[in-house]
Structure 1
Amino acid sequence: MLIIPAENAVNWKHPPWVTLGLMLSCILVSLFYQGGDSRKLEQAVDTYMDSGLPALEGPAYEDYLQRKIRFDGEEDRVFELRQFQKLREDDEEFWLSVSLLMDREFYQYLLQNREVIWAPAERRHWLEQRSLIEETYIQRLSAQQLGLIPAQLSLYTLITYQFLHGGWGHIVGNLLFLFLLGFTVEKALGPGRYLLAYLLCGALSGVVFTLFSPGSHVPLVGASGSISGLMGMYVAIYGLKKIRFFYFIGVYFNYFRAPALAILPVWLGKEIYDYWYAGATGIAYMAHAGGLLAGAGLVWLLGKSWLQVREEFFEPEEDEKDERFTAGYAQAMASLGRMDFDLARRQFEALRGNYPDRPILLEHLYHLAKLRPDLPEYRNRTRELMNDALSRRQPEQMISVWQEYLSKGEGHNPLAAEDHNRVLFASLKQHDLKAAEKAFERLRGADDPLLTAEACRLLAEEFEKLQMAPKARHYRQLLQAG
């Protein structure tokens, strides 16, 4: 399951330079710094095989895995043991050597237990050859030098590990999410504060990972902790405001709208669940969880001071404005501030005549009309806003506006049957049967037999699909009675 926010589009007139710079930095590090890792690893494996160490370490590794499974309860390593045994059976010495060399916890196990595992002559040979390989090749790998190793935690690796990656699949996936989230958060916070917050989230994510992996010698690399921080900041910036999310489940994908903060526990719960139940996947789930909490926490704690969202972030997009619109919009907002509602309404109407594609103007006019729910203008603006929401494929907003009108304006100027019928159709598509039934009752009272009969039939069919026989029977009876 994948859920990512998709509320904004990139404004290329004001590119997200810091986000693009972070992406470029990761790519350059991968190309020019990590690019030599494969050559060093190949040399290490060649030296390792030539020294005869696979024959020494192979039996010890099999015993090590069996102990982990039997005594430490690491059942997820059964597959790892079987895979290693198959490599030995197939005489795949190269990949067997890679497995032995790159298991850092196994290397620590050998250092601590070499007195027990081997006789003195074998022990001297192993220590001499293994130390040479470690110093010459392994310790010069990028992950060993600048990755975050919990057992050797240092301040600088809390930053440097964020720019390292474990391969092109890893980096492409991370940079895609960095771009999708980063341009919005950068716009909200401004370049400087955004960069500092991004790095701080990555550092705090690394600290959480270390707390859950104390003493581990396996290096953590990648920007996913920092990106999780962006996810936390993103939803905290919007708070309870409903925004659009993209979701992907299996082969199905779509969009939905929800309060931004409602998704935070979903993301957090998934990472914690995977940490306990997903097994040995090589994914740092608790680093992700730490990043989510760090990002949201920073905005909540510092959102009114250092990390305050810029005022223009929630205003209409700058690339949709020209000077005349900017000046006119500012004048209308000033009139609102002075509570000169009649003047503000005229100004917004004039702006809407010149800029009919700006939804924000209709929303202002709707809220102004709502001040007098007894006048027909409120009903007219409600219809306009409902139609606008439907045209922008936001049925939840249309239903919400309709419900608000029922409580404030329906008693003065009732909506037409067509209005209730549109709400009924939208509610059925959203599987909001409660709203659909409410719209049907309003439709019945609007005295339109044809629309009422069709709506009754649709409700009966929907309840039959859901196997809700009493409800279906009720609407079938109404249909026959009509």
Structure 2
Amino acid sequence: MLIIPAENAVNWKRPPWVTLGLMMACVMVFLFYQGGDSQKVEQAVEQYVKSGLQSLEAPAYEDYLQRQIQFEGAADRVRELQQFQKLEEGDEKFWLAVSLLMDREFYQYLKQNQGVIWTPAEQERWNELRGPIEEQYIGKLSSFQLGLIPAELSLYTLVTYQFLHGGWGHIIGNLVFLFLLGFTVEKALGPGRFLMAYLLCGALSGLVFTAFSTGSYVPLVGASGSISGLMGMYVAIYGLQKIRFFYFLGVYFNYFRAPAIAMLPVWVGKEIYDYWFAGATGIAYMAHAGGLLAGAGMVWMLGHSWLQVREEFFEPEQDEQDARFTSSYAQAMASLGRMEFDLAKRQFEALREHYPERPILLEHLYQLAKLRPDRPEYRDRARELMNDALGRHQPEQMVSVWQEYLGKGESYQPLSAEDHNRVLFTSLKQHDLKSAEKAFERLRSTGDQLLTSEACRLLVAEFEKRQMGPKARHYRQLLQI
């Protein structure tokens, strides 16, 4: 049974670049770095068959498997023994060589017990023939160079193993899950923190795998531990919030909703159960369990600091926001149509709190405030609209609002010297001298000598530049008053 979270859809207007980059890195490594592995294996098998090492190792391998079955309780190796005996009966030299070469635990067993297994002459022959094959071919395989080998743990392989894969089925499966989970977690954490958390989950997953496979020479490869970490982070981010999950059982699939974090013990429990009871499947169950716990634990411990979820993550997608805005805006306009102005005002104010970037809402609030020009609210909305127009590089609208206010509200609630001065500057930039002079007269009437003097100098300079002598003299005389 497969259960994965499916709460979000991809927003291709803001692509998950880090997730896509990780996917591309895995593909590039698989194609251009691991692509030569099959040739190395073929060369190793060819050299192995030519050397006649099978006559030395095959009897030892059967004895090795029987010992593990009888004395170590490795019941899952019974099938391997039977398959190996069938290969021997059919004289399948190629596949026999593959079995003997690629069983790394058996190779270590031979190295440690060669003095017991063979005569001195056989030992010398084995070392002379097997050593070059290991050095020239097997040791150069990607999984042994950059894979995570518990018995030879190193810091760099805790990262590098995450980008290696064992075949097309392995990499395709991992990349599908990386995409399905990655775009959501990347959106929640941001690109940089997402990348660091992804790699850290993979490293912690590798450490858990190593703890349960101490002394093993079988390399771990694949991004599944890191991806399990994404699953843990995914459900920890949503916590008790109910989200949608996709499940697949046999040929049946569907969706269900459940508290996100409720799935964590289900996933971890399944991995631990499979580790103990599924037998030898080649799947690193404890790496998956470690990744799940690492991802969830990181969000819980660092969710208020380094791994804090971005505020905009829980906001609706743009299409949903637009639909909500359209619906609420229509309701407010309907109130206007019924002349329920107080209700319309409250509705537009509520809309503006959620959508402050939409100027149409401020314009409606300005028009409603204009119905009572004697109130301070009209002056405040006029100022807001003037500043908004200036911020959106619409100076004509700013001056228009100012002029309208002078005719309707200035006698009740006068604008400040700063307001008139801002209009004067804007008018001069737009070469609207008439509005600039009008703004100057309003500014002068406020009694602010400092702003008035500065504005007067600007007008003198502007009229002199335009060779309008009488106007320049008029304002120069005002400076001397």
Does the alignment reach a TM-score above 0.5? yes
Give the equivalent residue in structure 2 for 1:73: 73
Give the equivalent residue in structure 1 for 2:260: 260
Give the equivalent residue in structure 1 for 2:140: 140
Give the equivalent residue in structure 2 for 1:445: none
Give the equivalent residue in structure 1 for 2:400: none
Letter in 2 for 1:346: Q
Letter in 2 for 1:303: G
Letter in 2 for 1:318: Q
Contact preservation (8 Å) 2:64, 2:106: yes
Question: How many Å separate the matches in 1 of 2:42 and 2:64?
Answer: 25
Give the equivalent residue in structure 2 for 1:50: 50
- Give runs of ≥4 in structure 1 deviating > 3 Å: 318-326, 341-345, 347-351
Encode CA deviations 1:92-136: one digit per residue, 9 max, x unaligned: 110010010000000000000000111111110101111110000
Give the equivalent residue in structure 1 for 2:284: 284
Give the equivalent residue in structure 1 for 2:347: 346
Encode CA deviations 1:328-380: one digit per residue, 9 max, x unaligned: 99xx9xxxxxxxx97897349979xx9xxxxxxxxxxxxxxxxxxxxxxxxxx
SS of 1:281's partner is coil
Question: How many Å separate the matches in 2 of 1:187 and 1:171?
Answer: 23
Contact preservation (8 Å) 2:19, 2:186: yes
Letter in 2 for 1:267: W
Contact preservation (8 Å) 2:325, 2:351: no
Question: How many Å separate the matches in 2 of 1:318 and 1:170?
Answer: 35
Once the 2 structures are TM-superposed, how far is the Cα of residue 188 of structure 1 from its aligned partner? 0.3
Question: How many Å separate the matches in 2 of 1:307 and 1:209?
Answer: 24
Question: How many Å separate the matches in 1 of 2:2 and 2:324?
Answer: 42
Give the equivalent residue in structure 1 for 2:218: 218
SS of 1:209's partner is helix
Letter in 2 for 1:255: Y
Contact preservation (8 Å) 2:76, 2:280: yes
Give the equivalent residue in structure 1 for 2:244: 244
Number of residue pairs matched by the alignment: 341
Question: How many Å separate the matches in 2 of 1:184 and 1:267?
Answer: 19
Equivalences for 1:188-227 in 2 at 5 Å? Answer: 188-227=188-227
Question: How many Å separate the matches in 1 of 2:290 and 2:321?
Answer: 39
Letter in 2 for 1:119: T
Q: Which moved more, 1:238-247 or 1:310-319?
A: 310-319
SS of 1:208's partner is helix
Equivalences for 1:81-480 in 2 at 5 Å? Answer: 81-318=81-318, 320-321=320-321, 325=325, 346-347=347-348
Question: How many Å separate the matches in 2 of 1:170 and 1:24?
Answer: 15
Contact preservation (8 Å) 1:88, 1:96: yes
Once the 2 structures are TM-superposed, how far is the Cα of residue 325 of structure 1 from its aligned partner? 4.4
Kindly name which structure, 1 or 2, has the bigger radius of gyration based on alpha carbons.
Answer: 2
Once the 2 structures are TM-superposed, how far is the Cα of residue 319 of structure 1 from its aligned partner? 5.0
SS of 2:214's partner is coil
Once the 2 structures are TM-superposed, how far is the Cα of residue 152 of structure 1 from its aligned partner? 0.5
Give the equivalent residue in structure 2 for 1:474: none
Alpha carbons of 1:317 and 1:130: their partners in 2 closer, same or farther (altered >3 Å)?
same
Alpha carbons of 1:48 and 1:348: their partners in 2 closer, same or farther (altered >3 Å)?
farther
Contact preservation (8 Å) 1:231, 1:295: yes
Question: How many Å separate the matches in 1 of 2:344 and 2:109?
Answer: 78
Identity of aligned residues (%): 78
SS of 1:3's partner is strand
Letter in 1 for 2:62: E
Question: How many Å separate the matches in 1 of 2:207 and 2:297?
Answer: 15
Question: How many Å separate the matches in 1 of 2:212 and 2:157?
Answer: 17
> What is the TM-score normalised by the length of structure 2?
0.68
Contact preservation (8 Å) 1:232, 1:294: yes
Encode CA deviations 1:199-218: one digit per residue, 9 max, x unaligned: 00000000000000001000
Contact preservation (8 Å) 1:13, 1:319: no
SS of 2:222's partner is coil
Question: How many Å separate the matches in 1 of 2:236 and 2:200?
Answer: 16
Question: How many Å separate the matches in 2 of 1:252 and 1:348?
Answer: 49
SS of 1:246's partner is strand
What 5-or-longer segments of structure 2 have no aligned partner?
Answer: 333-341, 356-481
C-alpha RMSD over aligned residues:
2.3
Give the equivalent residue in structure 2 for 1:26: 26
Contact preservation (8 Å) 1:242, 1:259: yes
